[in-house]
Amino acid sequence: MSTKPARPTIRDVAIRAGVSMTTVSDVVNSKGRVDPATRERVLTAVSDVGWRPRRSARALRSGRTGVFAMCLPLGHVGVGDWLTNAEYDMALVAACAAATVDSDRQLLVAPRPTDVRDLARLDVDGVIIADPREGDQALTVLNNAGVPAVTIDRDIQRTDGWWVETDNTGSTLQVLDHLTAQGAKRIALVTADAPWAWFEDTSAAYARWCAEHDVKPQVRLIDVERPRATAAAGVRSLLRLKNPPDAIFAIPYGTPLGALDAITESGLSVPGDLLLAGGMDGQMLQVSSPPITAVDLRPIEMARAAVDLLARRVSGEKAVGPVVIQTELRVRESTSRR
């Protein structure tokens, strides 16, 4: 009869590193003054032994900390600036925090773990990964360490069902059909060449729609770190075409405003000369001139569903497939020709 291997302890790490358990505790909790070489030796021992500290008294009694972590997307240099300028992500964080408190837990907002050393500092019951990239390293680290994780949107390579997503294909087709109903014949897509399911699904749906409607695709890619400026540059190039678009569907946050900048600079008007729709709704689109039609991704519902799904995984339930949140198209003046 096989027995479950004993869980690595702080004593194992101390023996491996040749230091006291107090020194190990100081390193993983960033306390005291520890020689850099000793700190590196302790972190290496943590990685080699596979130890994850459990610091709370609650964890000592139940094996759980009562804490979930939410890890932010990669690639943002200033997280503070990014959060304050990304309404969707701010709504996700706030809603995740509310949902965890409602479930008698706490939420820790943290960077993505890149190795076991990061996990030594991330003492939580489970992790929510926002906007995972294809083959996301953080998911690999968490899975290898046995830490339950769910994602908001999916890793393109993932098949286990532990994620919450919107119907990206359905929302794309809804926008394209709406623009067509308003008289558009040449609809351009402004998106990003990034390994995220949202962009992959939307681009694929747009390509299929163009093929089915015998429409020539017009696509411009933006830099996700500079969405407004690069969207403006892309739309300027579209407007110089022999047969420029008469409608633009701009997906990433900030790109509809960049598109509007370029259209206005060209002496054209929305919706008089071009129709304009966005892939992610937000207050900036609601108060722009004109207000811009956009897809409401319902971040509050996404966050609540993610917390509930993680709680189910932590409790040992089996995955029953991804949770799909239905989006809603908020029609405004930018696509309403009178």
Token pair of 154 as six digits: 């999916």
Both tokens of 232, joined, read: 């403006």
> Of 59-68, 150-159, 225-234, which range is least confident?
59-68
Choose the weakest-confidence range: 73-77, 181-185, 212-216. Answer: 73-77
pLDDT recorded at residue 172 = 97
Q: With 80 as the cut, is the pLDDT of residue 330 above it?
A: yes
Q: What is the pLDDT of residue 277?
A: 98
Q: Which pLDDT score is estimated for 59?
A: 46
Pairing of strands 328-330, 293-296: antiparallel
Give the pLDDT band of residue 58 (cuts 50, 70, 90): very low
Ranking 48-57, 152-161, 275-284 by mean pLDDT, the lowest is 48-57
CA distance 306 to 298: 12
Domains and CATH numbers, the chain: 1-51 (1.10.260.40), 168-295+328-335 (3.40.50.2300)
Look at residues 196, 221, 203 and name the one whose alpha carbon lies nearest to residue 74. Answer: 196
Under the banding of pLDDT at 50, 70 and 90, the label for residue 50 is confident
Q: Which residue has the higher pLDDT, 313 or 74?
A: 313
Bridge partners for 110 per DSSP: 71
Kind of pairing between the strands at 163-166 and 187-192: unpaired
**Is residue 162 within 8 Å of 190, Cβ to Cβ?**
no
H or E element, residue 71: strand 67-71
| Residue 97 pLDDT | 92
Q: What pLDDT does 81 receive?
A: 47
Amino acid, res. 82: W
The predicted structure's pLDDT at residue 74: 55
| pLDDT of the residue at 73 | 66
pLDDT over 90 at 323, yes or no: yes
- C-alpha span between 316 and 297 (Å, rounded): 29
Place of tokens 């294809």: 134
Q: Which of 149, 144, 142, 120 is nearest to 53 (CA)?
A: 120
Token digits of residue 122:
């991330």
Distance CA 17, CA 23 (A): 10
